[in-house]
């Protein structure tokens, strides 16, 4: 896992935690948008973090 991918997962965690905490503290459901953004960031990190299959020897 490279540095950019680690940063993407850290951002995902930060946004999700901030959304949950702010939603609980304020009681305003508008912070659910943070959870949606966290899911989108996680999806992007997962899609770009997959490795390509290793190519075998050519016949």
pLDDT tens for 5-54 read 888 889 899 999 999 999 999 988 898 999 999 999 888 888 887 665 56
57 pLDDT higher than 80: no
The answer to whether the pTM exceeds 0.75 is no
Contact 59, 19 (CB under 8 A): no
Q: Is residue 26 part of a domain?
A: yes
Q: Is residue 21 part of a domain?
A: yes
Q: Is residue 38 part of a domain?
A: yes
Q: Is residue 33 part of a domain?
A: yes
Q: Is residue 53 part of a domain?
A: no
Domain count, the chain: 1
Domain that holds residue 27: 3-48
Give the residue from 50, 41, 2, 49 showing the smallest Cα distance to 33: 41
Q: Is residue 37 part of a domain?
A: yes
Q: Is residue 12 part of a domain?
A: yes
């Amino acid at each position: 896992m490279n540095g950019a991918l680690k940063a993407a997962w850290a951002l995902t965690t930060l946004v999700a935690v901030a959304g949950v905490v702010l939603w609980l503290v304020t009681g305003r459901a508008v912070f659910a948008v943070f959870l949606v953004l966290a899911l989108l960031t996680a999806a992007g990190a997962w899609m770009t973090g997959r490795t390509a299959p290793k190519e075998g020897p050519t016949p």
